[in-house]
């Protein structure tokens, strides 16, 4: 499977596109060109363009580098910070069932 052929659900793709748009808006608010950000992040301009378009093949390390250039690196800590489902499971005190005893051969 090619690196560029990652298959995601449409909802997941929309989330990545929104992330890319947010990064682009942050860059534009700072009046930085794509060349400036890509040089400072140590990536190519096409890679930054792919990130801003929401391409799922862009690595998390590159996302972090671009966020660092924009001064938003701490925002990555907000990912999965509020695990609502995990807290509900924990609050319900769900336990994993133990396996039954093994059957013995006669």
Looking at the domain assignment, is residue 40 inside a domain? yes
Query: Alpha-carbon distance 12 to 23, whole Å?
Result: 17
Q: Specify the pLDDT at position 1.
A: 43
Looking at the domain assignment, is residue 76 inside a domain? yes
Looking at the domain assignment, is residue 105 inside a domain? no
Residues in the chain where the model's pLDDT stays below 70: 1-4, 94-97, 106
Looking at the domain assignment, is residue 52 inside a domain? yes
- 49 and 34 Cβ atoms separated by less than 8 Å: yes
**Which two three-digit tokens encode residue 8?**
């995601």
Q: Specify the pLDDT at position 48.
A: 98
Q: Specify the pLDDT at position 80.
A: 85
Which residue range forms the structural domain that includes residue 26?
10-91
Residue 86: which CATH number?
1.10.260.40
């Amino acid at each position: 499977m090619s690196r560029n052929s990652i298959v995601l659900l449409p909802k997941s793709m929309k989330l990545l596109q929104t992330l890319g748009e947010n990064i682009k808006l942050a860059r534009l608010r700072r009046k930085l060109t794509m060349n400036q950000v890509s040089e400072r992040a140590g990536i190519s301009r096409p890679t930054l363009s792919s990130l801003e378009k929401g391409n799922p093949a862009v690595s998390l390390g590159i996302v972090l580098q671009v966020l660092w250039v924009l001064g938003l690196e701490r925002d990555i800590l907000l990912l999965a910070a509020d695990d609502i489902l995990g807290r509900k499971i924990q609050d319900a005190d769900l336990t994993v069932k133990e396996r039954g005893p093994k059957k013995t051969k006669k």
